[in-house]
Every structure is written in structure tokens, then in C-alpha cells.
């Protein structure tokens, strides 16, 4: 293996400070761990609704995507014709996260790409295990396609996107929809460090980046157990990397980070799609970690994160 680019020094200090603030791990039951994560995550993002130097002047509306399924609609300013639509699934291991935690990123992306974002508050595990989140994703895509004209969206120019667990949902839903002959209006998928493979034993990056980089290998396996405790490696609606026959898929951007347990999930999926003839754009951050372009705390500090966000926006504009 070739030598790796060292992790960004300022990022290393940032991660160390976060770890020190959390203190040593305390044994918790699964229920206590879920409650703790859901309490900590919103506080960590509080007060970070804008990033200096990056525009986010968009309108946000709370919407109902289906009975019991809420979402947020982001509408960029300006005039012009109908805009493309990105249905976005937040990360958080299918257990934590919400439209609120990913509000800063969705605002930034909507403004930078000049597109409409539909952010989905899908049901979370362990209360709602697989396939609840997949069902909610499909419902959200149907809602976006059906109602796009109501708010200046182009119903024939939709994309799916997400980060981490949300990217898993986006990839799975895209495969299901395209396999069902609905590719005519799906024009792209934006997969940011997607979870695509069985975590047992996991891709090599599970071992190489097991600890010390924010998301740890044991934590990722724990998230999978909460979401799909009875998972079978052959279930392609959980592990799209294991799908022996992919449908015809739209252009795809896959972003990965060197210091991420999910690095090789994303790299392997990019290889798989490219081998199947999909137009794949790869964006690899050689000195960054999991969640680098989405978490407001890192986007505000690191030019690599801001450059990645602008690259996502440029790709969406060109593709849609």
C-alpha cells in the first residue's frame, strides 16, 4: 500500500479536542447510548446555521411528505425557470440525525447549486428498523416527483443524495427505482461516504481507521445492529455493494475520505458502478475524515471541506 497523506494537522487537533470534551467512554446499554447520542448531536450543531463566506440565503419550509413523514423544503432565491430537485437523506447511522441537524448543509448546498432540496426526516432505528427508512425514502421521492411543479421544481430532473447512512438509503432507493423502470426522472445520485457493504468483517478501512478519527469501527457496527439486527450479507437492499446485477443507473458522484471507516465502502462501490458502465465522478479527500464536508464545525474551519461542497454543487448543476 502506498504511503497515505497525513491527516490535516488542524483536523487532528480538532478531533482530539472533541474526544477530550467527551471524556473516556462509559459503559451504556443500547437504549442509554441511543438517548445520549440524540442529546449530544443537536447541541454539537447548535448555533452553526451559517458559514462565513458561503451563501445560504434560501427559503425553508416545513412540509409533510406522507402521513407521519416530515421534511424540509429549501428554495433558493432568484428568478428563472424551474429548478432541479435533490431529495436528501441525512446521516447518523440510521439512529440519530434529523432535518434540523443537517439544516446548515442543506441550506449551503441549495444556495451553491441553485437547486431545490427536499430533506427527509425518515424514521429512525431502533424504534423503526429496516426497511422503514427505505420505505420513507421511496415515499419522499414520490412526493418530490408528484409535487415538484407546486414550488418551481422540475419533476423530470430529480436526484437522490445523502451522507453516510443517508447515502446508503439514497443508493438503495435509486437501485430500486431504476430497477422498476423509473429512471426517466432520476438524473443523478450524490453519495457522500456511503455505507454499502456488510460491516462484518468490514472493508479494509474498518481496520485501518478503526479508532481516532471520529467515527469508529465498533460504533459503525453498532449502528448497523440497531438498524438491521437480522441482516443477511446477501440482502442488496441493505448492502448495495453485494448486488450482482445493478440496473441502469444515472450519473453518480461518490465522495470518500482517507481517514474514514467507510472509505473502502465508497471506493469499492465507485469501482462497481464504473464497471457497470455508470458515469462515476470520484471525489477523494486524502487528509480528511468521515463527515468532513457536511458537519458545520469542519466546513467552517477547513478549506478542503468548502472546496468539496463547491464541487458537489458544480457537479449537481452540470448533471441536472
- List residues bridging with 89 in a β-sheet: 120, 162
Active-site choice (121, 260, 265, 287) = 260
Report how far residue 269's alpha carbon sits from residue 188's, in angstroms, rounded to the nearest whole number: 15
Residues 116 and 233: their CA atoms lie apart, in Å, by: 35
> 82 an active-site residue?
no
Catalytic residue from among 90, 102, 289, 290: 290
**Phi first, then psi: what are they for 89, rounded to 5°?**
-110, 120
Count CB atoms within 10 A of the CB of residue 30. 12
Which residues are registered as beta bridge partners of 284? 256
Q: Considering only CA atoms, which of 38, 286, 258, 276 is closest in space to residue 171?
A: 276
Among 313, 301, 320, 312, CA closest to 53: 301
Q: How far is CA 173 from the centre of its chain?
A: 13
Q: Specify the 3-state DSSP secondary structure of 247.
A: coil
| Residue among 103, 164, 243, 287 flagged as catalytic | 164
Number of Cβ within 10 Å of residue 10's Cβ equals 11
Cell numbers at 194, concatenated: 456511503
Cell (9 digits) for 136: 420513507
Alpha helices in 122-198 (DSSP H): 132-147, 165-179
From residue 232, give the alpha-carbon distance in Å to each of 78, 168, 207, 224: 48, 16, 21, 12
Other residues' Cβ atoms within 10 Å of the Cβ of residue 210: 15
150 is catalytic: no
What residues are annotated to the active site?
164, 260, 290
Amino acid at each position: 500500500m502506498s504511503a497515505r497523506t497525513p491527516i490535516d494537522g488542524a483536523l487532528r487537533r480538532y478531533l482530539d479536542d472533541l474526544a477530550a470534551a467527551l471524556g473516556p467512554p462509559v459503559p451504556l446499554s443500547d437504549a442509554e447510548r441511543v438517548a445520549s447520542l440524540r442529546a449530544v448531536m443537536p447541541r454539537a450543531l447548535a448555533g452553526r446555521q451559517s458559514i462565513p463566506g458561503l451563501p445560504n440565503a434560501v427559503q425553508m419550509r416545513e412540509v409533510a411528505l406522507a402521513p407521519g413523514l416530515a421534511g424540509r423544503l429549501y428554495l433558493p432565491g432568484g428568478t428563472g425557470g424551474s429548478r432541479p430537485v435533490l431529495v436528501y437523506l441525512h446521516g447518523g447511522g440510521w439512529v440519530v440525525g434529523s432535518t434540523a441537524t443537517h439544516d446548515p448543509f442543506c441550506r449551503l448546498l441549495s444556495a451553491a447549486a441553485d437547486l431545490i432540496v427536499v430533506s427527509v426526516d425518515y424514521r429512525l432505528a431502533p424504534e423503526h428498523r429496516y426497511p422503514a427508512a427505505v420505505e420513507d425514502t421511496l415515499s419522499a421521492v414520490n412526493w418530490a416527483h408528484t409535487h415538484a411543479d407546486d414550488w418551481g421544481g422540475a419533476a423530470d430532473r430529480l436526484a437522490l443524495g445523502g451522507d453516510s447512512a443517508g447515502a446508503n438509503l439514497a443508493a438503495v432507493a435509486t437501485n430500486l427505482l431504476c430497477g422498476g423502470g423509473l429512471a426517466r426522472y432520476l438524473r443523478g445520485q450524490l453519495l457522500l461516504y456511503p455505507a454499502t457493504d456488510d460491516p462484518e468483517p468490514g472493508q479494509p478501512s474498518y481496520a485501518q481507521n478503526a479508532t481516532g478519527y471520529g467515527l469508529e469501527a465498533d460504533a459503525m457496527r453498532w449502528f448497523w445492529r440497531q438498524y438491521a439486527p437480522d441482516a443477511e450479507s446477501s440482502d442488496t437492499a441493505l448492502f448495495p455493494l453485494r448486488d450482482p446485477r445493478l440496473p441502469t443507473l444515472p450519473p453518480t458522484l461518490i465522495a470518500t475520505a482517507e481517514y474514514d471507516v467507510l472509505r473502502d465502502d465508497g471506493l469499492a462501490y465507485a469501482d462497481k458502478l464504473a464497471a457497470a458502465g455508470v458515469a462515476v465522478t470520484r471525489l477523494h479527500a486524502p487528509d480528511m475524515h468521515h463527515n468532513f464536508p457536511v458537519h458545520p464545525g469542519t466546513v467552517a474551519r477547513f478549506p478542503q471541506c468548502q472546496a468539496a461542497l463547491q464541487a458537489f454543487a458544480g457537479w449537481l448543476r452540470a448533471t441536472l
